[in-house]
Chain A
Amino acid sequence: EPEVTQTPSHQVTQMGQEVILRCVPISNHLYFYWYRQILGQKVEFLVSFYNNEISEKSEIFDDQFSVERPDGSNFTLKIRSTKLEDSAMYFCASTTRAGYNEKLFFGSGTQLSVL
């Protein structure tokens, strides 16, 4: 089965630094998502992205966050100035345009640790 690929698997950064989390969605997928999960608990929606623009975003996705699909294959999440509370597992997901009811395919995640 095709996979969503995320890099790096672990990222350690200092508070206040910028980080970029990278994702390669499945090639024929058109809807892209970022979620985060803190300490193996609740999975929180951050943002959805379609046709090179944000479709929806949560209250967590403030001005410190941005997403980009720079080259038609990668999908990135940037945090401009990281905070301690940004420490979490960040998951990328994608799905086809075939329908909103299609399942999401998730990557294995990037564990972000902010020190």
Chain B
Amino acid sequence: AQSVAQPEDQVNVAEGNPLTVKCTYSVSGNPYLFWYVQYPNRGLQFLLKYITGDNLVKGSYGFEAEFNKSQTSFHLKKPSALVSDSALYFCAVRVSSSASKIIFGSGTRLSIRP
């Protein structure tokens, strides 16, 4: 069955340090992968997507994600964290090229300490 997993409920990083938020997926066929961010009392906002091409995808607010087919992973990264990056992050996958359904992971709460 198609699924997406975020193994960490919470990630804590000091401001200025690099951050990684992990995501693994399981789909049949080529994956269509996304990262979204949710700030308190707000809807989800798109950060970046991987459809095809370069394995390193750059997105909003300085975030990037690396697609690794052999490890079925799509980890979110940022070289230098900001306190304002503190939020809830969701990895998502479209289950197939012919489907409209997008499923989300359980979310990872990122906390950046000053």
Range of interface residues on chain B?
20 to 34
B78-102: CB near A (< 8 Å → 1, else 0) gives: 0000000000101000100111111
The answer to whether A42 and B106 touch across the interface, beta carbons within 8 angstroms, is: yes
Query: Does chain B have a CB within 8 A of A2?
Result: no
**B-binding residues in A (CB < 8 A):** 4, 31, 33, 35, 40-45, 48, 50, 55-56, 58, 91, 93, 100-101, 103-109
Complex formed: what's the CA distance from A10 to B88 in Å? 21
Query: What's the least CB distance linking B8 to chain A, in Å?
Result: 14
B43 near A: Cβ within 8 Å?
yes
How many A-B contacts at CB < 8 Å in the complex?
Answer: 63
A108–B43 contact, CB under 8 A? yes
Contact A40/B43 with A56-B101, A101-B32 known, Cβ cut-off 8 Å: no
CB within 8 Å for A43 and B100 given contacts A101-B32, A101-B51, A104-B46:
no
Flag if B102 contacts A45 (CB, 8 Å).
yes
